[in-house]
Structure 1
């Protein structure tokens, strides 16, 4: 049996001046034994008073949890449940030709093509897998029926899919009681994660479950290989001198329904744990690598004694962003003015292992995974320096795009452009090939276009100032960008012409009134289907004509037109939020906790409703 290697990735935010960081680029150093790890951790616990010892700034985007809310009075306009219409004779509900051929379909909206990301819904064009109210439901696309359900442990589930195998990753509190904790080795009140491996070749069934002591950060899937990133926190250490390996690492519990056996082991082996040369807190970032064709038994793990928050993956690399321990933040002592993010690159080109390669640094903080992008071996990073986090700071915030190139064991800064959005911070980033787009905001939304053809001399070539801001940018054809954001309290979509980077222009704006859209914080909620030039986004608007559902936007060369709205509603609950949309064949599907509604993609007319 061949074990897959898993290596932990960590990026730490160092609070040091830029000049000093240029000569002090820490590499990861492995512990030689459990004794060495415990000695290091005990010394750290003395510094932190037994806590993790880091103060967060960067943070992962929130995960949608599809749960049934309390019953509220129905809106006046609600008169019936979502319509259920029969498919047109001779066609299946999926729009596929009768005979079983799988039509074209949209998957999860991901940052990099070919690199999948966990989400609350997955589809292979024949089946839909969705988690609502902690229940996995399998929907057959052709018949439009629920063919299987399975109650899952935990909450906030996210899914990864490979053939007939699903991984469901969920949060689980340690104070749930002994029955629910499944004998996990973490103290009450601590965060934990449960990973469930499922066989979905027929009715879904659990193959294995694993509890991990810590918070799930994110994951990336390249083919059959999934790399799950966790951040473990130590148990509360009252007397560091008495603390043991278990206090600092915690233990995983793997239960196999195939063999009936239970395996308990440290989060990572001691000699597989590394640490930056400078103390970075007592959190343990662990990456568990799973070959989904083989199952969780083929899992291996390593770790870094540091914290982690943002994960970015390309076809050949994995990067993670995090923060570092700063004693002055806890003691009230001197806090450095400059802030930096350190970035570690790991090579994932070999599907059997993940190998640490290099470390680099950029100024300030990064917003999310869209702030990083690898192109032709170079990493581009957009970051914001926000001195206002430190009381008494006189510096003005600004943003920078940095290009890093691996040279030996270092990611060396070979080019950068700074001064973007002074007094503002980044709200959205999109890198596309040799172009980059950055939105900063305070009162006016500057959209900056960047020329990245020469990685040693990136430059701003255009700037568009308009009211409001875009929090998410999506390419919608050659030279076009769709921005989703708001102006004041109003949600809006904007179409930008970036065909001439020196003169970006807004071609159209489509307002939805005062309200909100999850797309601002969760890009997985956005769908763009290029064959129909159609974008779909959940929207909740207030005011005289309140609406909760999803809006379908037809994108023309110079226009945005609302093609229609999709609603899930009942007399008891009124309109309910739509969390996801996706396309299979000539059908547009929308998901809420009530069920899945399929609609004709051309007319948006209801075709079939699958109730949960």
Structure 2
């Protein structure tokens, strides 16, 4: 009778409509755990079926009807031909593209991950004019609502981009401003491109700055969804936006997409991808603002984007379906722990065409019912046997099944290919492209169900077709990856564990990466930067919560088999300094100067003759330092309150430019306008 009630419960849930075709990993594991990747839809029907049968993806379909584009008009793009390895270029001092030249001397550019691939930032300069959007929000359309007992204000906000005539430095001043958009800036010849990050003001506006004192709108482009990231390469802006619950209709920036322009992740039932966001990747012509091409890709909030000079890469993390794991274990091994009548019921449930969720609920309840009448000793023995074996099974499967797919988009043709690596990718600095090969480091076993001893990282090298051609496994076993940086054919890797190893990995042979050298460090590092062919700086932390300190280290890697720490600078214990936003880091190679934006202070170091020397501390009272820029002999330090300008020859402050501050409504001037008492009298009821 008990199991008939279970069956009735299941059937009621089926009738309620909570069912879609589901499956379980078969005992012989017919599903290929390496059969993962990205593919495009071929028709509206295929798209609808995917949305209906993908469980967590149902909400991606909006109430709007699908695009009426002819699905047969396009086919899945062919994978580009393999790129033959070329001779490796010399490592330049400005590896990250942080300096330029002009008629007024050298000037800094945005610190970026890949040289020649510009990234949006709040400060841009052409060596004469500086464009700056502070992190300030100015109120507009302020309205006092005085029609209730408790008056209140409502208002909208906007950000302001200030245009500064930087030279001569002693008389530098703000000459104009832009209030329509700001925050993410690019310079493209005589255009200032601004990207609004506010959902209600989703615009890209290009301003003609031939006359910086009077910028004029050259073109503007509205976009749907939320701004994610972008890159500027030559005269093309590669723009990425995300939409939560907006895959239909298939349109973006006025362009109608064919179904074959929309890509989705696939894989065996036992593992599932994070798939809760639609990304729209668009190529814009910076001269006209025209949308040259758009494709859509289903990903998640954990999707990571890396852009080389030729390709864009986006990730999808696949993780084992824990409910399927449990069902597979019970179906395959349950007879070792459960009585025959319970197993008959479980086999019957598993034979129904039900969703994984329904099966999991029914099977879990059956196991629970079996243990209900056990004594404490019986339940202890059952748990030690059943759950110990299940945990070992699930841990092993997680190690085997955990994947990250990587989707490659050719920036010229927008052809798409995909591959995968084991485990999880930490951040975009874990990826790099060189001579047509994608190099990736990923971590397997970073899961609460797995033992720390299973934690390991793998270096994978993929060719142009996104096929893995070389691997280096068991890198930093039992340790967490903290920081990575690719420089030429060397991967510099720092981990977070006792001893904190600094590991150098040789990638010159794509088919056989190998460890070059290793050293033990004190502390952990959040950022690595090359200042020459043989010198690196590492920025991080040392100590524990009782004596936590920030440190800056200088390394000699001229002998990769024996890297050496040459010098260390320790900040005071009460100084909070961070370069998690690497755009706030500036290197002036000509003067051997490094500027770090930290809290309310800009720290200016000279790194010369294998030593780190603190040259100057520029303190901004009541405001955070966010950026620094140099032009010729002058250094400009930016906070939300002021811009300080220094001579780098004598470190005297030459000028201070004040930033206009927002003025919000003064709530202290609002008083109740009603005649009734604020608090109830003895004769008035008091409501809870």
TM class by smaller structure: 0.7 to 0.9
Q: Which residue of 2 aligns with 1:276?
A: 265
Give the Cα–Cα distance (whole angstroms) in 2 for the partners of residues 414 and 453 of structure 1: 13
Q: Which residue of 2 aligns with 1:105?
A: 107
Q: Which residue of 1 aligns with 2:630?
A: 583
1:361-385 deviation line (CA, Å, top 9, x unaligned): 1122222221111111111112222
CA shift for structure 1 position 164: 2.5
SS at structure 2 position matched to 1:101: coil
Give the Cα–Cα distance (whole angstroms) in 1 for the partners of residues 495 and 225 of structure 2: 33
1:304 aligns with 2:297: yes
Give the Cα–Cα distance (whole angstroms) in 1 for the partners of residues 292 and 522 of structure 2: 50
1:325-344 deviation line (CA, Å, top 9, x unaligned): 76548968979513221112
1:158 aligns with 2:166: no
Q: Which residue of 1 aligns with 2:174?
A: 146
Give the Cα–Cα distance (whole angstroms) in 2 for the partners of residues 110 and 447 of structure 1: 23
Counterparts of 1:217-232 in structure 2, within 5 Å, are 217-232=228-243
Give the Cα–Cα distance (whole angstroms) in 2 for the partners of residues 522 and 149 of structure 1: 25
Q: Which residue of 2 aligns with 1:551?
A: 603
Over the residues paired in the alignment, what is the CA RMSD in angstroms?
A: 3.0
- Is the 1:439–1:470 Cα contact (8 Å) retained in structure 2? yes
Give the Cα–Cα distance (whole angstroms) in 1 for the partners of residues 32 and 304 of structure 2: 21
Greater relative contact order: 1 or 2 (C-alpha under 8 angstroms, separation 6 or more)?
A: 1
- Is the 1:150–1:205 Cα contact (8 Å) retained in structure 2? no
- Is the 2:320–2:398 Cα contact (8 Å) retained in structure 1? no
Give the Cα–Cα distance (whole angstroms) in 2 for the partners of residues 394 and 539 of structure 1: 34
Give the Cα–Cα distance (whole angstroms) in 2 for the partners of residues 390 and 431 of structure 1: 30
1:50-90 deviation line (CA, Å, top 9, x unaligned): 479xxxxxxxxxxxxxxxxxxxxxxxxxxxxxxxxxxxxxx
Give the Cα–Cα distance (whole angstroms) in 1 for the partners of residues 30 and 493 of structure 2: 26
- Structure richer in strand, relative to its length: 1
- Is the 2:206–2:218 Cα contact (8 Å) retained in structure 1? yes
- Structure richer in helix, relative to its length: 2
Give the Cα–Cα distance (whole angstroms) in 1 for the partners of residues 260 and 420 of structure 2: 26
1:505 aligns with 2:507: no
Using the size of structure 1 for normalisation, the TM-score is 0.73
Using the size of structure 2 for normalisation, the TM-score is 0.65
- Is the 1:217–1:309 Cα contact (8 Å) retained in structure 2? no
Q: Which residue of 1 aligns with 2:65?
A: none
Structure 2 residues not aligned, in runs of 5+: 1-24, 62-99, 137-158, 324-355, 362-393, 660-688
- Is the 1:597–1:606 Cα contact (8 Å) retained in structure 2? yes
Give the Cα–Cα distance (whole angstroms) in 2 for the partners of residues 385 and 30 of structure 1: 30
Taking a change above 3 Å as real, the CA distance of residues 293 and 213 of structure 1, as seen in their structure-2 partners, is closer
Question: Larger radius of gyration, structure 1 or 2?
Answer: 2
Taking a change above 3 Å as real, the CA distance of residues 24 and 270 of structure 1, as seen in their structure-2 partners, is closer
CA shift for structure 1 position 234: 0.5
- Is the 2:437–2:463 Cα contact (8 Å) retained in structure 1? yes
SS at structure 2 position matched to 1:532: coil
Aligned match of 1:421 in 442, 462, 476?
476
Structure 1 residues not aligned, in runs of 5+: 1-14, 53-95, 174-180, 183-192, 236-243, 255-263, 541-547
List structure 1 runs of 4+ shifted beyond 6 angstroms. Answer: 18-22, 332-335
- Is the 1:490–1:513 Cα contact (8 Å) retained in structure 2? yes
CA shift for structure 1 position 529: 0.9
- Is the 2:317–2:424 Cα contact (8 Å) retained in structure 1? no
Counterparts of 1:286-435 in structure 2, within 5 Å, are 286-295=280-289, 297-307=290-300, 309-324=303-318, 327-328=321-322, 336-338=397-399, 339-348=402-411, 350=412, 353-356=413-416, 358-387=417-446, 389-391=447-449, 393=451, 395-406=453-464, 410-435=465-490
SS at structure 2 position matched to 1:473: strand
